[in-house]
Amino acid sequence: MMSAKVLCGFELHKNTLKKNAIWDTAFEDFSISDLIIKIGKGREKKSIDRKIENKYPKNGIPLIIAKKNNNGIGGAKLRDEIEQVYSDKICIISGGDGGGGKTYYCEFEFCATNFVMICDFANCIKDKMDKFAKYFLAITISETLFKTIGHGRTISEVPNINIKLPITAKKEIDFAYMSNYIQKIQYAEFL
């Protein structure tokens, strides 16, 4: 995520992190399709000038493409060239050459090509997560889908595949654990 922000010229701000110890917890299966919902596919055409000096215009919006690194960011488009701008969404690379299944949480404004499925958080969890828990969810989904979809396969809907998430004593998703876990990662203060 940090590399994506640096590529796009976003200023890095330090967050105050909770430094609580990570505790042992139980995990349970949850279906991805119960946690996120498809909004649609990106609507941008992949027509970026490939010269490095033109790829990331200073006043551009990051463009998510079928890419498995840098949060899928393959350049930027000027705002007046953009069909649709999103923010605070989950992006799933739905096909392409090697990036299929990679899943990213993008808190910033972005646009995307049609190889990217744009998803929102289901109402049952939307207001229960901070941005760190959203990163945890995206990473967990990504690890599962990248193994499942991988190279060459294409998806068009949110898969009904289970992922393991931490749970509380009441058998509910433990969003505090998810948030705390991500905050323990080196450089999390810049997320």
Q: Would the pLDDT of 77 be above 70?
A: yes
Question: What pLDDT is recorded for position 191?
Answer: 73
CB contact at 8 A, 61 and 77: yes
Which is higher by pLDDT, 152 or 65?
65
How far, in Å, CA of 31 to CA of 158, rounded?
A: 10
CA distances, 54 to each of 24, 49, 85 (Å):
48, 6, 20
What is the pLDDT, as a whole number, of residue 121?
Answer: 97
Q: Indicate whether 170 pLDDT > 80.
A: yes
Tokens representing residue 69 in the block: 């690194």
pLDDT at 50: 63
Task: Examine the pLDDT at 76 and tell me if it is beyond 90.
Answer: no
Q: Which of 106, 125, 131 is nearest to 165 (CA)?
A: 125
Answer whether residue 190 shows pLDDT above 80. no
pLDDT surpassing 60 at residue 21: no
Averaged pLDDT of the chain: 84
Residue 38 bridge partners (DSSP):
119
Residue 94 pLDDT exceeds 70: yes
How high is the pLDDT of residue 48? 63
Half-sphere exposure of 45 (CA within 13 A, CB side): 3
